A and B are shown apart, each in its own frame.
Chain A
């Protein structure tokens, strides 16, 4: 009996392994068909359902390149890097993938192909002129090698307002901190949200604080980030005090550190249209192009009027500057077996793809210097806000958005939360940040 059981078990194991091998063979044969399959994994451009711009781009690309098939893998931003890491380390990573600017871009360096020669070959010797200088600074390493191509630019530090709703409360869009405080007070008295912020998202806190600190002294901010100045210096200390005041003075809503931007606060502004103001970046311009019924009626309905605006945080008569970053950096897996086709796809996505993503859907601002901004079907209200973003992108950028060093970035984010809930004084927060800043140099 035992013998029979052993034989059956062995036979079934062998069958299972053979079946598995068989399946793999079939799979490999399918992939080895006429078409070259390029796997593209990203969180952005997102799969927002049927008719998503990314599918339109893929269809157009495959029509132009019938020998290449794009296997698009959408992974949400929360787990994209985790999945990517496992895939790349296991030798099963995608051929092309989206990468965020900042620490991740440099940490993944072993799995990013040097694209300099591909760019030169496809776009000529002066290919760098194709992109905005600012974008090139982000994607180039210290030796001048390029490991990713920039797809779209975003600006942080903005606030958004529903001007009609503000008018209902007898208010107009605040332009200074003093005005914002008054507006917040009036709104609170009428049981309405003041300026809303999804402060549970520490990246948003960092965006907002950087803009405030840059308004006080942009040079001091970036000098401190680069370790050339102390975070305990008066200019930086003022920014931490200001940040804490925003929570203590009721400028931001109660329990702000318990709310996320996506989707707690964003839904209230974008879909429900139930709050008058919130902090969000230039990427929120896509509220004008989204197709869901609630957003469309809120942003493109009759008499809809929304303003993107900057605040003069230190009341010196000048609004704060914005910070800018590449939204998505397209990278190529050095272990890809279809590099030529992969770069062809990257080339298409950065050019024709970006045209659609920017001019058709306002997913981001252009990263290409040679790209004309001509957004189709944008309402007058949307056009006005777009022009405001372009204007500030031209003459009011303080510097790079975010902080590349992950530990420094994390301690600042932690301290911003601690300040928001009064668990630390601005002086202590600055001292703790400075200690980490010195330890990572």
Chain B
């Protein structure tokens, strides 16, 4: 019996080593650095206790980041989930060219951020951008804006572009989830007189509960890590209007050489991610421990 349990540990040992080296060590090291004044390069670090966290509390940019994170997370997760569900449901119905549509909706995910940034910069540029040119062409000059140069519209477009890029992911996850729902359930519902509307709201939606949680957790973590689109399109500007945790970590670490402060932001991010994930998992498993996430 004893021998058997040891061999079990041996089997998970390689994975545990990888986990310890690539996950645990960086987290612990990062937490340690957050207590030091260090430029990220020099050989000496000065222990400053909680000073870096104090700096963060007093930093007005951090408040903007938290606000941006909340707006971004709520908007992108909800809209992407609704659109993803809509497209998945549509494609499940054996549409003509369904594979083509699925590919087209998924395609933006594989586009590199630089390309996406370049394309949308051209669309949204104030003077000769396609969007403003189009508005002028249809005599709606009054609607023309400096889309990426005005704080409010810049954040809106970062959200729109993210939704455009990641709706395909939500669609695919929901589509996979829908394939796992037995056709028998729908057949039985039809016999009982349920229409398409009822089938969707009383069968599809509840049976995709695990998928909803997965989409939500992934969306929250994705929102916390958002970097590429705001960095390429606005570099967190104008005046921090599109600043996110990751863009600010980049600034603190590589422009200001404040590795300690940068690590403190990472710790805050880590704590937020842990709390959100733990809360969601608790809610999910609260009533039934046998459930699986999609």
Residues of chain A touching chain B, judged by Cβ–Cβ distance below 8 Å, are 2, 6, 81-82, 85, 88-89, 103-104, 107-111, 193, 200, 253-259, 264, 406-407, 410, 414, 417-418, 420-421, 423
Contacts and interface: CB of A to CB of B under 8 A. Distances in A.
B127 interface: yes
Contacts of B44: 110
A406 B255 contact: yes
A2 B254 CA distance: 49
B121 interface: yes
B240 interface: yes
Kindly list the 6 A-B residue pairs having the minimum CB-CB distance in the complex, ordered from nearest.
A255-B126, A255-B146, A258-B149, A258-B148, A255-B149, A418-B239
B234 A410 contact: no
A319 B146 CA distance: 31
Interface in B35-88: 39-44
B237 A417 contact: yes
How big is chain B's contact interface, by range? 20 to 34
A257 B42 contact: no
B257 A110 contact: no
B127 A417 contact: no
B210 interface: no
A6 B8 CA distance: 12
B235 to A, nearest CB: 7
B121 A421 contact: no
Given A82-B254, A200-B235, A410-B256, A256 B149 contact: yes
A264 B121 CA distance: 9
B127 A414 contact: no
Residue among A81, A82, A109, A421 with the most chain B CB within 10 A?
A421
B125 A264 contact: yes
B257 A107 contact: yes
Contact of B41 (A111, A407, A410): A111
15 contacts: A81-B254, A82-B254, A85-B40, A200-B234, A200-B237, A254-B126, A254-B127, A255-B147, A257-B238, A406-B256, A407-B256, A410-B255, A410-B256, A414-B239, A423-B239
Contacts of A414: 239-240
Interface in B111-168: 121, 124-127, 146-151, 154
B7 A2 contact: yes
A298 B150 CA distance: 33
A88 B149 contact: no
Residue among B42, B124, B150, B237 with the most chain A CB within 10 A?
B237
Contacts of A89: 41
Nearest to B43: A110
Contacts of B125: 255, 258-259, 264
A437 to B, nearest CB: 15
A83 to B, nearest CB: 11
A440 to B, nearest CB: 11
A88 B126 contact: no
Interface in B188-243: 234-235, 237-240
A109 B42 contact: yes
Nearest to A407: B256
Given A110-B41, A421-B149, A421-B151, A257 B257 contact: no
